Structure 1
């Protein structure tokens, strides 16, 4: 991994649909050398995937809720059952096992507070091993990125 690879990754994170010719120009490489490097970076797993980032508001899901979950225990089977079940909830965008006051932090999207109440009732309250849940509604997203520092 050299500086050219880092420049390629920086550009790809912000413009995943950029053509190889444009990318090569931005990082000062020939198109063929750039293509080889991108293929290597993909093959080595530095680039996991290319996705379209949708606008949650335009998709009718403008409400973001962070849900802190405490489980009834820490046994492997409790953690595994919870993780397997939460992965099937379509409104949960992220699930993180965390250290601290809670066991998991979820990022959930909803149409509004009433929709979240339905998601809570139908899905979250039925997750296995949950002892406590605390929900916090985001009032406004101040900053959001998917780009890692390179």
Structure 2
């Protein structure tokens, strides 16, 4: 059912943990299956110097988090943003069809951590004081990355016949 690489990343996850002084944090969850992923990044000279994750979920969710962290570490922010769900699943030598949503969560959590970092940089040194306005941020579809209104039940843009799962930006 799972490849050797998936099982290796599940039983020996790389980069698991929390960065207390993270430069950016991204959190996603899937209310249907209960998977929750939080990615923490440390940025130096435009590169991801360190990437950690804290994941509550199934075998695939933990393996995906581990693989995404490995794929992102050392990359520039622009390179890391280009890590796709497909690239993650391919690096793991595939995932069962009913677990592909996990690769969406991992790549999305990383992108949200990068976005969080970039927003802090744009706001300046006092950005930690201004982060309480996240309730007005839009949700994003995990399949097509389309911005949707907060609280939307489904994506209005995506033609994916399996439906969309919206994630709340935190």
Q: Which has the higher contact order (CA 8 A, sep 6+)?
A: 1
Instruction: Give the structure-1-normalised TM-score.
Output: 0.27
Which structure: greater helix fraction? Answer: 2
